[in-house]
Amino acid sequence: MNVQGTHYRTIRVMKENPAVVQIIDQRHLPHKFVIEDLSTVEEMAVAIKDMHARGAGLIGACAGYGIYLAAMNAPKDSVASFMSFIEESGKTLKATRPTAVNLAWAVDRQIEAVSAAGGNVESRIQTAFKTAGIIADEDAEFCRRIGEYGAEVIEEISKRKKGDTVNILTHCNAGWLAFVDYGTATAPIYEAYNRGIKVHVWVDETRPRNQGARLTAWELGEHGVPHSIIADNTGGHLMQHGMVDMVITGTDRTTYTGDVGNKIGTYLKALAAMDNGVPFYVALPSSTFDWKMKDGVAEIPIEQRDAAEVRTINGLYKSEIVTVQLAPDNSPGVNYAFDVTPARLVTGLITERGICDASAKGVLGLYPEKGV
Amino acid sequence: MNVQGTHYRTIRVMKENPAVVQIIDQRHLPHKFVIEDLSTVEEMAVAIKDMHARGAGLIGACAGYGIYLAAMNAPKDSVASFMSFIEESGKTLKATRPTAVNLAWAVDRQIEAVSAAGGNVESRIQTAFKTAGIIADEDAEFCRRIGEYGAEVIEEISKRKKGDTVNILTHCNAGWLAFVDYGTATAPIYEAYNRGIKVHVWVDETRPRNQGARLTAWELGEHGVPHSIIADNTGGHLMQHGMVDMVITGTDRTTYTGDVGNKIGTYLKALAAMDNGVPFYVALPSSTFDWKMKDGVAEIPIEQRDAAEVRTINGLYKSEIVTVQLAPDNSPGVNYAFDVTPARLVTGLITERGICDASAKGVLGLYPEKGV
Tell which residue, B209, B229, B172, has the closest CA to residue B306.
Answer: B209
Q: Cα A152–A203–A300 angle (5° rounding)?
A: 80
Chain A hits for B314, CB-CB cut-off 8 Å, are 324
Chain A hits for B316, CB-CB cut-off 8 Å, are 324-325
With DSSP H G I counted as helix, E B as strand and the rest as coil, what are the percentages for chain B, rounded to 5?
45, 20, 35
| B263 contacts B183 by C-beta, under 8 angstroms | no
Average pLDDT, chain B: 97
Residue A164 is given by DSSP the state P
Q: What is the CATH number of the domain that holds A50?
A: 1.20.120.420
Range of the domain at A86: 2-138
Q: In the listed set A138, A165, A185, which residue is the last one of a domain according to the structure?
A: A138
CB spacing of A311 vs B229 below 8 angstroms: yes
Same-domain status, A186 and A328 = yes
The Cα B108–Cα B118 span in angstroms is: 16
Q: In the listed set A93, A113, A138, which residue is the last one of a domain according to the structure?
A: A138
Q: Which of A268, A311, A345 to mutate to test the interface with B (most CBs of B within 10 A)?
A: A268
Tell which residue, A178, A371, A173, A324, has the closest CA to residue B321.
Answer: A324
Report the number of distinct structural domains present in chain A.
2
Q: Which of B171, B223, B237, B335 to mutate to test the interface with A (most CBs of A within 10 A)?
A: B237
Which residues of A, range 303-332, sit inside 8 Å of B by Cβ?
310-317, 322-332
Same-domain status, A223 and A342 = yes
Chain A hits for B278, CB-CB cut-off 8 Å, are none
CB spacing of B336 vs A237 below 8 angstroms: yes
pLDDT of residue A372: 63
Given B267, B315, B328, which is nearest A236 (Cβ)?
Answer: B267
Which residues of B, range 159-218, sit inside 8 Å of A by Cβ?
202-203, 205-208, 210, 213-214, 217-218
pLDDT over 70 percentage in chain B: 100
Given A230, A267, A269, which is nearest B310 (Cβ)?
Answer: A230
Q: Cα B69–B75–B78 angle (5° rounding)?
A: 125
pLDDT of residue B357: 98
CB spacing of B231 vs A275 below 8 angstroms: no
Which residues of B, range 27-56, sit inside 8 Å of A by Cβ?
30-31
Same-domain status, B76 and B183 = no
Average pLDDT, chain A: 97
Tens digits of residue pLDDT in B279-312: 999 999 999 999 999 999 999 999 999 999 999 9
pLDDT of residue A366: 98
CB spacing of A325 vs B317 below 8 angstroms: yes
Residue type, A59: I
pLDDT of residue B18: 95
The β-bridge relationship of strands B312-317 and B320-325 is antiparallel
Q: In the listed set A121, A138, A155, which residue is the last one of a domain according to the structure?
A: A138
Confidence of residue B372 (pLDDT cuts 50, 70, 90): low
CB spacing of B218 vs A328 below 8 angstroms: yes
Chain B hits for A229, CB-CB cut-off 8 Å, are 310-311, 327, 331-334
pLDDT of residue B101: 82
Is the per-residue pLDDT at A49 higher than 90?
yes
Tell which residue, B310, B340, B347, has the closest CA to residue B325.
Answer: B310
Chain A hits for B263, CB-CB cut-off 8 Å, are 233
Arithmetic mean of pLDDT, B262-285? 98
Chain A: give the shortest CA distance to residue B332, in Å: 5
Given A30, A232, A335, which is nearest B232 (Cβ)?
Answer: A232
The Cα A144–Cα A198 span in angstroms is: 19
Measure Cα distances from B352 to B188, B195, B288 in Å: 11, 19, 11
Arithmetic mean of pLDDT, A181-207? 98
pLDDT of residue B370: 95
Residue A263: what are its φ and ψ, rounded to 5°?
A: -50, 140
CB spacing of B265 vs A315 below 8 angstroms: no
CB spacing of A272 vs B272 below 8 angstroms: no
Same-domain status, A132 and A231 = no
Same-domain status, B160 and B192 = yes
Confidence of residue A216 (pLDDT cuts 50, 70, 90): very high
pLDDT of residue A135: 97
Q: Which helix (H) or strand (E) holds B316?
A: strand B312-317
Chain A hits for B297, CB-CB cut-off 8 Å, are 240
Is residue A37 part of the annotated active site? The answer reads no
Same-domain status, A195 and A125 = no
Same-domain status, A155 and A102 = no
**Active site amino acids of B:** 252
Q: Is A223's Cβ below 8 Å from some Cβ in B?
A: no
Q: What is the CATH number of the domain that holds A249?
A: 3.40.50.10470
Same-domain status, A157 and A114 = no
Q: Is B237's Cβ below 8 Å from some Cβ in A?
A: yes
Residue B35: what are its φ and ψ, rounded to 5°?
A: -95, 130
Same-domain status, B38 and B169 = no
Nearest CA in chain B to A28: B328
Confidence of residue B371 (pLDDT cuts 50, 70, 90): confident
Is the per-residue pLDDT at A99 higher than 80?
no
Same-domain status, A201 and A333 = yes
Chain A: give the shortest CA distance to residue B286, in Å: 25
pLDDT of residue A253: 93
- The structure's pTM equals 0.96
Tens digits of residue pLDDT in B64-122: 999 999 999 999 999 999 999 999 999 999 999 987 888 999 999 999 999 998 899 99
Same-domain status, B258 and B169 = yes
Residue type, A200: H
pLDDT of residue B99: 77
Tell which residue, B156, B146, B44, has the closest CA to residue B356.
Answer: B146
Tens digits of residue pLDDT in B196-233: 999 999 999 999 999 999 999 999 999 999 999 999 99
Same-domain status, B79 and B206 = no
Arithmetic mean of pLDDT, B245-259? 97
CB spacing of A229 vs B330 below 8 angstroms: no
CB spacing of A311 vs B232 below 8 angstroms: no
Q: Which helix (H) or strand (E) holds B300?
A: none
pLDDT of residue B299: 95
pLDDT of residue A101: 82
Q: Is B236's Cβ below 8 Å from some Cβ in A?
A: yes
* Three-class DSSP category at B368: helix
Integer-rounded Cα radius of gyration of chain A: 21
